Structure 1
Amino acid sequence: MHRTAAIVCGAGVSSTFLARAVRDLASANGLDWQIEPLAEDQVANRADSLGLVLVGHHLAHRCDDLRLVVASSGVPVVVLDSDDLTAAAHQSVTLLQSHDAERADRANRLSKGNPHG
């Protein structure tokens, strides 16, 4: 099942390059995620279709606002630690893997009738 992660970097060009790098790296690691570059003002309209929002380091000061925008959808919003493309792509894939592991763990607990662990 495809899940979608948004890459929000603000200027458009940087999010497109980062999205491409994350898409390639995620695919190479066998992850089934669609990666989309989005402008900040597009996140609200897409919140219900997103599994994760990854925010460029230079927009860390906007993270709380983005969290408010997606709060009703329960979408996690994470600020990337680096503006370096390679480092940000690797961190993004690690976050996607963690998100998958958490979902699998939650599904496993629910199937055993223990939703809280």
Structure 2
Amino acid sequence: MSKSILLICGSGASSGFMAANMRKAVKKEGLDYKIKARSESELGDYADDIDALMVGPHLKAEFEGIKKQVPDNVKVILMHADYYSILDGKGAIEHLQKELGE
């Protein structure tokens, strides 16, 4: 079953690069994840259509508020700076799978 994953950061730029690298990793692993990146301000437009939300580590201070903007069934994950800072898509996918219990 396909999972829809949304990444957000402040402007959408760094999460856009991260999403591209995650899509490459997903393709290599043969996973059925649809990965998009948007700015934090666009979250409301997408919150009802996603299975998981990955939040850039620089938004840690807003994390609790961000969680309140999505439905309860959406898994909200704060990305780790260690893989985010180097745009390691494989590391992000591994974190996502662990959080989703897959």
Range into which the TM-score falls when normalised by the shorter chain: 0.7 to 0.9
Larger RCO: 1 or 2 (CA < 8 Å, sep 6+): 2
Q: Structure 1 74/8 Cα, relative in aligned 2: closer, same or farther at 3 Å?
A: same
- 2:90 aligned with 1:86, yes or no? no
Q: Secondary structure at the match of 2:35?
A: strand
Q: Tell me which residue corresponds to 1:111.
A: none
- 2:2 aligned with 1:2, yes or no? yes
Q: Deviations over 1:63-89 (max 9, x none)?
A: 11110001x3421111111141334x2
Residues in 2 aligned to 1:41 and 1:56: alpha-carbon distance in whole angstroms:
13
Structure 2 unaligned runs (5+)?
Answer: none
Residues in 1 aligned to 2:60 and 2:91: alpha-carbon distance in whole angstroms:
15
Query: Which runs of structure 2 are paired with 1:1-117 in the superposition (5 Å)?
Result: 1-70=1-70, 72-82=71-81, 83-87=84-88, 89-98=89-98, 99=100, 101=102
TM-score (norm 1): 0.74
Residues in 2 aligned to 1:15 and 1:86: alpha-carbon distance in whole angstroms:
9
Q: Structure 1 29/100 Cα, relative in aligned 2: closer, same or farther at 3 Å?
A: farther
Structure 1 unaligned runs (5+)?
Answer: 102-117
Pairs aligned (count): 99
Q: Structure 1 41/11 Cα, relative in aligned 2: closer, same or farther at 3 Å?
A: closer
Residues in 1 aligned to 2:29 and 2:97: alpha-carbon distance in whole angstroms:
9
C-alpha RMSD of matched pairs (Å): 1.7
Residues in 2 aligned to 1:41 and 1:73: alpha-carbon distance in whole angstroms:
19
Q: Structure 1 75/100 Cα, relative in aligned 2: closer, same or farther at 3 Å?
A: same
Residues in 1 aligned to 2:30 and 2:7: alpha-carbon distance in whole angstroms:
19
User: Comparing both structures, which one devotes a greater share of its residues to helix?
Assistant: 1
Identity in percent: 25
